[in-house]
Amino acid sequence: MADVNLLNFDRDSLNAWLGALGEKPFRARQVLRWIHHRGADDFEAMSDVARSLREKLGATACIRAAPVLRRGCSADGTRKWLLDVGQGEAVEAVYIPEPDRATLCISTQAGCAVNCRFCATGRQGFSRNLTTAEIIGQLWMAERELRASAVGPVGREGGSAAAGSPSRVISNVVLMGMGEPLQNYDAVLPALRLMLDDDAYGLSRRRVTVSTSGMVPMIDKLARDCPVALAVSLHAANDALRNELVPLNRKYPLAELLAACKRYLRHAPRDFITFEYIMLAGINDSDKQARELLRRVEGLACKLNLIPFNSFPGSDFRRSDAQRVRDFAAITTEGGIVTTVRRTRGEDIDAACGQLAGSVRDRTDVAARRASIPLAPISA
């Protein structure tokens, strides 16, 4: 039975698995390159791999990402895939092209257990962890599809660092889709390693960002294992408010979270933490709260990314108006923190955290809901 999915393996585990088949370690390099450089899903195409190994692989293994249920393409070039992860569950990946980079936002869980008040994914509850194959499979599939649809490689900056690899369409990856990546650490870590591996995606560690709502022990683990860029979803500068918005704060309060951020930077010298801060009208967006935030992060190398709230059916918050966001940003900038405001992208295809899959996931009538998703169809 061809049931070992090679997308689950990073270099070390592929080495070990091939070793158990009696193969030499250099085979792992060849196979990795076929899969992740060339996007192969067919062992017969692996022309420089010995025929005997191709036959063994064909009999025991497969290369399989989650099937695409739907594709969306926004007028601004943003693309979105809705992926079937079985049992009526769907997750999403979003591609965001910009002049100097092209970012893929990927999911790590179906649903999420953290249950942030403002988050459509959180509202769905937790269904299950994605496997490494389902996580890296989003990048594998998006590269294949974008290349096939003749999306060119990104400019100067963006090309892959991997020697001998084909030009990459995707220059940056962010784990900011559905789910809390650090609550699925064991599957996320091999996927991160593949993103950085020159024989796979060859991205520099600053072009891969893990976003977390604040899993303190796992922040420390990530620092030791694979210190990629870290984004922390802060959203409030005191425990009383953060406890309400991000329930995980009750377990790991702000002082502990900020201490973990400081420790992280020891493993990632010359880096900074990106604090994400969703702007909720009348909740966390006052001048006073901007100043409180400044005091809280004093002495920590960080940037601040203000995120306009994306409302969804049943959400009980409102987006801060543009002037409020500018005034808030003026205070934090004045206080010395580089502050950016996230541009909203792909709004015509609901390309915000958890929104599309949220509208699909309904155990009672999945098919009917799927049929009603307002997406402009595109070809792969």
List contacts with ligand SF4 (CB under 6 A). Answer: 112, 114-116, 119, 121-122, 179-180, 213, 233
| Sheet of strand 208-212: strand arrangement | 68-73, 79-84, 90-98, 101-105, 172-175, 208-212, 229-233, 273-279, 302-308, 338-341
Q: Taking Cα atoms as reference points, which of 38, 83, 84 lies closest to residue 63?
A: 38
302 catalytic? Reply is no
- In the chain, the N- to C-terminal Cα span, in Å, equals 29
Please select the residue that binds ligand SAH; options are 353, 356, 357, 360, rule is CB under 6 A.
353
Nearer to ligand SF4, 107 or 171 (CB): 107
244 catalytic? Reply is no
Nearer to ligand SAH, 79 or 123 (CB): 123
Of 176-195, binders to ligand SAH (CB under 6 A) are 176, 180
Please state the closest distance from residue 109 (CB atom) to ligand SF4, in A.
Answer: 8
Please select the residue that binds ligand SAH; options are 131, 284, 310, 339, rule is CB under 6 A.
310
Give the list of residues 6+ apart from residue 372 with CB closer than 8 angstroms, or none: none
284 binds ligand SAH (CB under 6 A): no
Please state the closest distance from residue 92 (CB atom) to ligand SF4, in A.
Answer: 12
Please select the residue that binds ligand SAH; options are 8, 171, 233, 332, rule is CB under 6 A.
233
Pairing status of strand 208-212 against strand 172-175: parallel
- Give the CB-nearest residue to ligand SF4: 122
Are residues 92 and 103 in contact, defined by beta-carbon separation less than 8 angstroms? Answer: no
Select from ligand SF4, ligand SAH, none the partner in contact with residue 273, using the beta carbon and a kind-dependent cut-off of 5 to 8 Å. none
Point out which residues pair with 275 in neighbouring strands: 232, 304
10 binds ligand SAH (CB under 6 A): no
Give the list of residues 6+ apart from residue 269 with CB closer than 8 angstroms, or none: none
* Binding stretches for ligand SAH (CB under 6 A): 118-120, 176, 180, 211-213, 233, 276, 278, 307, 309-310, 352-353
Instruction: List active site positions.
Output: 92, 353
